[in-house]
Amino acid sequence: MATMEITDVRIKMIDGDKGTLKANASVTFNDCFVVHGLKVIESDKGTFVAMPSRKGEDGKFIDICHPLNNDMRNAIKDAVLDKYNVTK
């Protein structure tokens, strides 16, 4: 099985006061697959990365794509937040 490596992270800062949403992010894996639509959100509990999602019929948000294990979730979170902190 091939391992997935994060090869690029792009951050687009949100201008003005948009509440808790601070940036949108895209993450590229192995220089051949990109996921757009990650969000950097600042809340009372700290800054976190939300996966791309859509609003379901019940009004709840459903992830469109997401990591299947904590190691990959942490790798994505760390890479996005590292780039966000350098960009802001």
Quick one: which of 15, 84, 8 has its CA closest to 50? Answer: 84
DSSP 18: -
Position 19 scores a pLDDT of 82
- pLDDT band at 84; cut points 50, 70, 90: very high
pTM (global) more than 0.85 = yes
Say which CATH superfamily domain 6-87 falls into: Stage V sporulation protein G (3.30.1120.40)
Summarised one tens digit per residue, pLDDT across range 20-70 is 999 999 999 999 999 999 999 999 999 999 999 999 999 999 999 999 999
Helix or strand run (H / E) with residue 67: none
Tokens linked to 65:
């794509």
Can you give the residue ranges of every domain in the chain? Answer: 6-87
Residue 73 has which token pair?
């979730």
Phi and psi of 21, rounded to 5°?
A: -75, 120
Considering only CA atoms, which of 17, 24, 18, 86 is closest in space to residue 49? Answer: 24
